[in-house]
Structure 1
Amino acid sequence: MDAETPCPDSMIEWFRLDRSPDSDVLAIVFSHVSEPPGRFSFYASFRDVPVNKLFVNTPGNGWYRDGVPGLGNDIDSTAEGLRIMMQQVAPRTVVCIGNSMGAYAALLFGELINADRVLAIGPETLLDQPGSRSRGFLAGRPLSPYPDLLPVLSRPAADRRTSIIIGESDLFDLDYARRVAHLPGIRLRSLRGVGHEVPAMLHRFGVWRPLIRDFARDGSLPAFLPLEGRIFEAGDAADALIEARRLRLAGDRRAARGRLGHCLALYPDADAAHDEIGVIEREEGAFAKAEAAHRLALRLAPDRGQYGLHLALALEAQGRFGEALAAYDQASALEPGNRFLARSREEARRRLQDGTPAAWGTPGFFRP
């Protein structure tokens, strides 16, 4: 999308205030990971949104733990710096918006500065968990003073309205949203067959800019989003799916199968559940069944490179090396910026061209 669009030459490196004199709304937009100094996530998207806008970035992909230079050197002093900026604008309404790492910040600072409404897309509500995005950046570094947003978001929030949008295919995002779903003032929206890159998908359907414009202006969201999912409305389907993954990782495949079956009985569109079944089949050596499950997951979520990788692994295990290489290529093409998928493709290509396919029965062989 437009996350890499630079501000004009007069920009401040880590925050920038764009005034709109006729508006009584201040939208604070928090950047996601890997934005360099002087650039801000969604700057171009908000260019024509007629509200006051404060764009914020943070060094080092530290989940805002070290603050924002010029506003504060830690989270609490940054919150005070944001309040000072708010005094300059004197808005009637304050809105916090962010994606991924920026969504964590939108939720956290939304509470700390008492924002009126928050839009958080794919937030982590519990940092530094094994396999999580924040673990990749925060491992070995001092923890944030706010590693868990559940106590923060549980504080009385008056009339604050918080909307969280996630892709149902990303089980981390599903779990992080699920754990705060019961809190007053929080509304969850989910998208079928979509992973972590929700803004890119909404942009593809032409609804991203209208969505953030309307939310910044009056807090409204579309009554129905493209690929709108219903997993949070399907009984305990989300709980069953998350529990199934936990059980599989703990080695209890039988119990995991039971929970996946329960999830799919309630919500057949749960592509991640079909993919999990495929992983279990591969772990048990039933590679043809694994192939069928991964193909079904891909039909439900055709843009998921991870599912394509899993299909490739199942094909390779059956000795269908030409098909496997094609599947590896397709998986990498689905997410061209995903270095893990690109590396997996190259490793598979070397492995198969050398005539040494993966030893699927060998303990410790990689089974994602």
Structure 2
Amino acid sequence: MTEAATFPPSGPNYYFVERAGSKRLVIFFSGTGQRNGRFEFWKAGREVEENLLFVSDGRNHWYQDGVAGLGTTIEETIASIQAWCERNSVDEIVTVGASMGGYGAVLYGGMLKAKVLAFSFDTLLRLPTSPSWRLMPKDAVMRYSDLVPAIQQAGVPINVFVGEMYPIDVVAAQRLVNLPNVKVESLRGVGHGSARFIHLALGVKTVVGMVATGTPIPPLQEKGSMCESPELVDLLHRAHVAFFEKDLAACLKLCRQALRVSPRSEIFHYLLGRTYLGLKRMSAAIKHLNYAAGRSPEFEDGQFFHAQALRIAKYNKQAIPLFEQQIGKWPNAARLPFNLAISYERVGRNAEALEQMRRAVLLQPSYETKLADMRERIQKRGGIDGGPRNTEGIRGYIASLIS
């Protein structure tokens, strides 16, 4: 762009909201996959009664090439934002983002001398198994591959939240804990969606206001301590990589070692349960996944694999109410009605099994062959016979596991 101050008020990758009388600009950086005028934090962010700027990087370049419409480079984009602030008498900036947006909030926030609120983001791009490793195009040029030097140079206050159930986020955040201008808080039982968790717990508007005014964010019941232990983070990283590489023996050993140090750690119980599940040691898998699920009710994968382990072990009557509850919380996850359909079929609730398999197909068309196979099996057994609805609870079963 030729003139930093002459861009229109909105474009496919950015959108300004002007608020009369506000001397503050809050910039919300979107995560991956947002394009064509779609932005994260759109609803919650608009509740913040300040000047607002929503930005996205639809190419998933981790904001290395600026924000289209504001600049073709980081420097041009920074200049455009600064020109807008000068024109509108704005003298304070807050940047907010999650995942790729968290990376953008930290990088641009430092350059803009802003106050920063960032959730669950990479601090070292393309670290194996990280979001940028999986989603950043191979031809994307990394101008700032490591955020630590940029953070040290900027010296701006940065508030970071990460979920302890997403190992690579913990590894990324642990690199920041000794930086004096960064406050890192990990959350027990929370995965990559730490931003959503904080919004539900405190509200984005409230937390942004606290960051803007320098008010301490109150500690939550889920406050963890994982990032304060380099030993545990190292074990977590190694166990996570071993599991990813299907080295289940190594993962088993590392998780057991970690639980000797931190016996109540939900993430290590979860990884251990997943490892036992891979090894088809079902009693051990159910025991550890039950613990992780009980301690992490908002962690979708933990809830799912606990129920799946029960299904695989043929505890279908116990798995069914768990899958039903999960569908209520995560209605767009195709794996839930798919697994529920299998459990329904195995206890003779054939009509409900077909209904759930159809639901799975609507969410994920690749399940169509599974639906056809299920129809054929049911027809061979004599057609639909729903049978009595199962009302058996799971309290006795869970009590037997922890007794």
Shorter-normalised TM range: 0.7 to 0.9
Q: Which residue of 1 aligns with 2:259?
A: 264
Closer, same or farther: CA 285–17 of 1 in aligned 2, 3 Å: closer
Closer, same or farther: CA 207–28 of 1 in aligned 2, 3 Å: closer
State whether structure 2 residue 37 is matched by structure 1 residue 38. Answer: yes
- The aligned amino acid for 1:72 is G
Aligned partner of residue 193 in structure 1, secondary structure: coil
Q: Which residue of 2 aligns with 1:238?
A: 233
* TM-superposed deviation, 1:136: 4.2
* TM-superposed deviation, 1:130: 4.3
Closer, same or farther: CA 163–52 of 1 in aligned 2, 3 Å: same
Q: Which residue of 1 aligns with 2:136?
A: 138
**Cα pair 2:25 2:51 within 8 Å, conserved:** yes
Q: Please, which moves more after superposition, 318-327 or 218-227?
A: 318-327
Closer, same or farther: CA 322–339 of 1 in aligned 2, 3 Å: same
CA distance in 2, matches of 1:181, 1:312: 36
Aligned partner of residue 45 in structure 1, secondary structure: helix
Counterparts of 1:189-338 in structure 2 under 5 Å? 189-216=185-212, 218-234=213-229, 236-250=231-245, 253=248, 255-321=250-316, 323=318, 327=322, 330-331=325-326, 333-338=328-333
CA distance in 2, matches of 1:89, 1:238: 45
- The aligned amino acid for 1:80 is A
CA distance in 2, matches of 1:178, 1:340: 32
Cα RMSD (Å) of the superposition? 3.2
- The aligned amino acid for 1:169 is M
Closer, same or farther: CA 150–23 of 1 in aligned 2, 3 Å: same
Task: Name stretches of at least 5 consecutive residues in structure 1 with no aligned partner.
Answer: 1-9, 356-368
* Offset from partner CA, 1:52-106 (integer Å, 9 cap, x none): 3222223334322443222112334323333333332454332211122211100
Aligned partner of residue 244 in structure 1, secondary structure: helix
Counterparts of 1:1-368 in structure 2 under 5 Å? 11-111=10-110, 113-154=111-152, 156-158=153-155, 160-216=156-212, 218-234=213-229, 236-250=231-245, 253=248, 255-321=250-316, 323=318, 327=322, 330-331=325-326, 333-338=328-333, 350=370, 353=374
- The aligned amino acid for 2:181 is G
* TM-superposed deviation, 1:214: 2.1
* Offset from partner CA, 1:317-352 (integer Å, 9 cap, x none): 434455556655555554334456667777996499
CA distance in 2, matches of 1:340, 1:72: 41
CA distance in 2, matches of 1:84, 1:211: 27
CA distance in 2, matches of 1:287, 1:142: 43
CA distance in 2, matches of 1:83, 1:249: 43
**Cα pair 1:107 1:120 within 8 Å, conserved:** yes
* Offset from partner CA, 1:84-141 (integer Å, 9 cap, x none): 3333245433221112221110011122x24232111111223334443334432444
> TM-score, normalising length from structure 1?
0.79
CA distance in 2, matches of 1:315, 1:172: 28
> TM-score, normalising length from structure 2?
0.73
Q: Identical aligned pairs, as a percentage?
A: 26
Closer, same or farther: CA 39–284 of 1 in aligned 2, 3 Å: closer
CA distance in 2, matches of 1:212, 1:226: 20
CA distance in 1, matches of 2:37, 2:242: 44
* TM-superposed deviation, 1:241: 1.9
Closer, same or farther: CA 336–148 of 1 in aligned 2, 3 Å: farther
**Cα pair 2:47 2:205 within 8 Å, conserved:** no
- The aligned amino acid for 1:123 is F
User: How many residues are paired up?
Assistant: 342
Closer, same or farther: CA 279–266 of 1 in aligned 2, 3 Å: same
Task: Name stretches of at least 5 consecutive residues in structure 2 with no aligned partner.
Answer: 1-8, 344-356, 358-369, 378-403
- The aligned amino acid for 2:159 is S
CA distance in 2, matches of 1:234, 1:180: 13
